[in-house]
Chain A
Amino acid sequence: MNDNGAPSDVPRDVPRDVPRDVIHVERIRKDFPILERVINGHPLVYLDSAATSQKPRQVIDAVSDFYANHNANAHRGIYTLGEEATEAFEGVRAKLAGFFGSPDPRTIVFTRGTTESMNLVAQGWGRKFLREGDEVLLTDMEHHSNIVPWQLVAQATGAVLRYIPLTDDGILELTDLEGLLTERTKVLAITGQSNVLGTLPPVKELAAAAHSVGAIVLVDGAQLVPHNPVDVVDLDVDFLTISGHKMLGPTASGGLYGRRELLDAMDPFLGGGEMISEVFPDRSTYKDPPHKFEAGTMNIAQEIGLGAAIDYLESIGMGAVREHEKQLTAYALERLQEAGAVVHGPKDLDIRGGTVSFWFKDVHPHDLAQVLDQEGVCVRASHHCAQILMRHLGVPATTRASFYVYNTMEDVDALVGALARAESVFV
């Protein structure tokens, strides 16, 4: 390990055409203490990173080092510890901005994750600017966190929610986009990568189309950001939400990228200490963004942990992360289909990430997950907070395996092997 907490000897620039081992998985795995766990007599096979990722020692150490050596509130104490805490916290803001290609750290608001970021935009921007009859355009594969906040705002403003449908392959049906994206559309809010199907929608093209009708563009980055290189300038999106705990960081770390002029124009979300400039009995004035949106004591230690997570991911290289997951996904699609599983979503690896939902021989996902757990294999079995999508797929739930930097081809083998056990019990 080197001093900045990154795994040593991991190449920064990996050629795109290397067929195998684009990242040093075995070395990476040694950084994750939890992978030493034995579950029900089997080594842990963690295939639920889309729910939350595991944490490398570098992240755990960064959080513990903050509490052990630097803990103080940020932006308050006129003393050494307070300054250290503030500097470390603000350092992560700059790091996040850089990670997304934003030239300005003030475009990053710290939040507890995507759900809070979504609510911040829906309430801060939507409540202020949406009018009766205005439209918010979503898709049929959104997570509930990109639906419910807009429903709340629509109920308050009279705005209308519309949805881009899906094809049978689980990609966006865009043939009638002109009918859906119109002068009435004020917000396009879409996932960057489906948390169920892994689908990667054409965000850049959709953002350009939305801007051409004057809509703002919010991208749910909860699944996109941990697994793909993301450049907000290139994508030209207005808001991007970030969940730190899905990208090797602590729970309750995360944030929101927002275009400066929009952050300036919006109302604050949560009111309280530190977000104000002056308080009078009947009104207050607010700090400039991003601090306008950061009320009360923030998630300082968690964001510092996220900073270590970003260092870790950057040392691997996000292009290499994506390539590694592509290989695992290719192998998983092949093995799962051989085993008789029906995989939902696109099969083209260029338009899907490493989140694989499937239905296996009428074994209910709950039963399947329970049997897999007996073999040490962790998968998610549920509607994945995407009930609209489940209705489209015509299933009550799916079993989902999702991959990350620490997963191996052997993990896929363990999954497929455990499926055979489930078949012997239930079919």
Chain B
Amino acid sequence: MALDDIYKETILDHYKNPRNKRELPGAAVTCTRNNPLCGDEITVSANFEDGNLREVTFQGAGCSISQSSASMMTESVGGKKVEDAMALAADVRGMLAGEVDPDEDAFGDLVALKGVVKYPIRIKCAVLAWDVLQEAVSGGGAVGGAPRH
């Protein structure tokens, strides 16, 4: 095991330069959840257009794995159909469980999270943002009304 199994350049880049880390004024849905293990908290906001996720942003603080995963998540699902975003969320979860071999084209930067599979206790960190996205989109914890498909 080596450190760069988990802390790949891509992860450190998203951690140090997070994408879409901001409030989303007028968001259709916003959802906040935390990881009780470490107290990390992530808020995901999204708005929709014609059944697509138009914009997805996140806020919060946490370890490099939870923050980079959130950053990559916002990039990879922004503009996608809600169904496709949910399918990707399921695949990311599958990759982290060691059950899905990622399709590099579909996954893009997300492939960098694959190394987390070797560190079971960190999987929760990587999954957090995806859990919040799913909950936001399915209406759980929505403050801005139900998602408009």
Q: Do A and B bind each other?
A: yes
B39 x A370 contact (CB < 8 A): no
Annotate A351-379 by CB proximity to B: 1 below 8 A, 0 otherwise. 00000000000001111001100100000
Q: List 11 A-B contacts (CB under 8 A).
A: A364-B38, A364-B64, A366-B125, A371-B7, A374-B3, A383-B39, A396-B38, A396-B40, A396-B41, A425-B7, A426-B64
User: Once bound together, how far apart are the Cα atoms of A381 and B122, in whole Å?
Assistant: 12
For B40, the closest partner residue in chain A by CB is A396
Annotate A292-309 by CB proximity to B: 1 below 8 A, 0 otherwise. 000000000000000000
Q: Which of A165-221 contact B (CB under 8 A)?
A: none
User: Once bound together, how far apart are the Cα atoms of A370 and B123, in whole Å?
Assistant: 13
- Interface SS of A by simple majority: helix
Q: A396-B38, A396-B41 are in contact. Are A374 and B12 (CB under 8 A)?
A: no
User: Once bound together, how far apart are the Cα atoms of A374 and B1, in whole Å?
Assistant: 8
In the complex, whether B106 has a CB less than 8 A from a CB of chain A is: no
In the complex, whether A387 has a CB less than 8 A from a CB of chain B is: yes
In the complex, whether A382 has a CB less than 8 A from a CB of chain B is: yes
B positions within 8 Å CB-CB of A:
1-3, 6-7, 12, 15, 37-41, 61-65, 119, 122, 125
User: Once bound together, how far apart are the Cα atoms of A370 and B6, in whole Å?
Assistant: 9
Say how far A372's CB is from chain B's closest CB, in angstroms: 11
Question: In the complex, how many residue pairs between chain A and chain B have their CB atoms under 8 Å apart?
Answer: 52
In the complex, whether A313 has a CB less than 8 A from a CB of chain B is: no
Kindly identify which residue among B2, B38, B41, B61 contacts A374, using a CB–CB cutoff of 8 Å: B2
Number of interface residues of A (CB under 8 A): 18
User: Once bound together, how far apart are the Cα atoms of A425 and B63, in whole Å?
Assistant: 13
B12 x A366 contact (CB < 8 A): no
Say how far A387's CB is from chain B's closest CB, in angstroms: 7
User: Once bound together, how far apart are the Cα atoms of A382 and B39, in whole Å?
Assistant: 8
A387 x B63 contact (CB < 8 A): no
Q: Which of A365, A366, A387 has the most CB of B within 10 A?
A: A366
Q: Which of A367-410 contact B (CB under 8 A)?
A: 367, 370-371, 374, 381-383, 387, 390, 395-397
A positions within 8 Å CB-CB of B:
40, 364-367, 370-371, 374, 381-383, 387, 390, 395-397, 425-426
Say how far A420's CB is from chain B's closest CB, in angstroms: 14
Q: Hey, which chain B residues are within 8 Å of A382, CB to CB?
A: 37-38
B3 x A366 contact (CB < 8 A): no
For B37, the closest partner residue in chain A by CB is A382
Q: Hey, which chain A residues are within 8 Å of B6, CB to CB?
A: 370
A367 x B64 contact (CB < 8 A): yes
Q: Lowest 6 CB-CB distances: which A-B pairs, in order?
A: A396-B39, A364-B63, A366-B63, A397-B38, A374-B3, A367-B64
B61 x A396 contact (CB < 8 A): yes
Q: Which of A371, A387, A426 has the most CB of B within 10 A?
A: A426
Q: A364-B63, A396-B40 are in contact. Are A40 and B122 (CB under 8 A)?
A: no
User: Once bound together, how far apart are the Cα atoms of A212 and B134, in whole Å?
Assistant: 56
Q: Hey, which chain B residues are within 8 Å of A364, CB to CB?
A: 38, 40, 62-64
Say how far B90's CB is from chain A's closest CB, in angstroms: 25
For A421, the closest partner residue in chain B by CB is B3
Kindly identify which residue among B2, B3, B62 contacts A425, using a CB–CB cutoff of 8 Å: B3
Say how far A425's CB is from chain B's closest CB, in angstroms: 6
User: Once bound together, how far apart are the Cα atoms of A366 and B61, in whole Å?
Assistant: 12
Q: A364-B62, A367-B64, A371-B3 are in contact. Are A425 and B38 (CB under 8 A)?
A: no
User: Once bound together, how far apart are the Cα atoms of A365 and B63, in whole Å?
Assistant: 7
Say how far A86's CB is from chain B's closest CB, in angstroms: 41
Kindly identify which residue among A367, A374, A397 contacts B39, using a CB–CB cutoff of 8 Å: A397
Q: A366-B122, A396-B39 are in contact. Are A426 and B12 (CB under 8 A)?
A: yes
For B119, the closest partner residue in chain A by CB is A370
Q: Hey, which chain A residues are within 8 Å of B3, CB to CB?
A: 370-371, 374, 425
B38 x A370 contact (CB < 8 A): no
Q: Hey, which chain A residues are within 8 Å of B122, CB to CB?
A: 366, 370
Say how far A357's CB is from chain B's closest CB, in angstroms: 14
Say how far A377's CB is from chain B's closest CB, in angstroms: 13
For A39, the closest partner residue in chain B by CB is B1
User: Once bound together, how far apart are the Cα atoms of A29 and B47, in whole Å?
Assistant: 59
User: Once bound together, how far apart are the Cα atoms of A159 and B112, in whole Å?
Assistant: 52
Say how far A173's CB is from chain B's closest CB, in angstroms: 23
Q: Which of B15, B61, B63 has the most CB of A within 10 A?
A: B63
Q: Hey, which chain A residues are within 8 Å of B1, CB to CB?
A: 40, 374
A365 x B38 contact (CB < 8 A): yes
Q: Hey, which chain B residues are within 8 Å of A396, CB to CB?
A: 38-41, 61-62
Extra A-B contacts (17), CB below 8 Å, given A367-B65, A390-B39, A426-B12: A364-B62, A364-B64, A365-B63, A366-B38, A366-B122, A367-B7, A367-B63, A370-B7, A370-B119, A370-B122, A371-B3, A374-B1, A383-B38, A383-B39, A396-B40, A397-B38, A397-B39
